[in-house]
Amino acid sequence: QKEVEQDPGPLSVPEGAIVSLNCTYSNSAFQYFMWYRQYSRKGPELLMYTYSSGNKEDGRFTAQVDKSSKYISLFIRDSQPSDSATYLCAMSNTGNQFYFGTGTSLTVIP
């Protein structure tokens, strides 16, 4: 079983839709949770960073962590064509070794 599972998509939504991206994990010791956005042929860009359980909001982005279910989510409100990218989840138990999902490809159609 992989440490982190992420549906690769592709996911296609109309502009303005709410997007939900999810990852599940197997290691209950994970405490640090991150979401990265990666545009084609570019390095991943850190979007959200949360520690332990709960929600975190930043503009149109909300990250949720449910440690009891070993499930994390990223919600994008009022999605824009510029949000079209691959979204990677990542997690860590110590903050210095990171486990990545394979990424979900998102396309927002104008």
Partner 1 sequence: EAGVTQSPTHLIKTRGQQATLRCSPISGHTSVYWYQQALGLGLQFLLWYDEGEERNRGNFPPRFSGRQFPNYSSELNVNALELEDSALYLCASSSLIGLSEAFFGQGTRLTVV
* Residues in contact with partner 1 by the rule CB under 8 A: 32, 34, 36, 41-46, 49, 88, 90, 94-98, 100-103
Nearer to partner 1, 51 or 71 (CB): 51
Nearer to partner 1, 49 or 61 (CB): 49
Instruction: Confirm if 19 and 32 have CB atoms less than 8 A apart.
Output: no
Instruction: Confirm if 10 and 109 have CB atoms less than 8 A apart.
Output: no
Q: How far is the CB of 108 from partner 1 (least distance, A)?
A: 21
Give backbone dihedrals phi and psi of 15, rounded to 5 degrees, phi first: -55, 135
Q: Tokens 């440690």 correspond to what residue?
A: 67
Cα–Cα dist 44/57, whole Å: 20
Q: How far is the CB of 94 from partner 1 (least distance, A)?
A: 6
Q: How far is the CB of 107 from partner 1 (least distance, A)?
A: 16
Instruction: Confirm if 35 and 13 have CB atoms less than 8 A apart.
Output: no
Nearer to partner 1, 59 or 95 (CB): 95
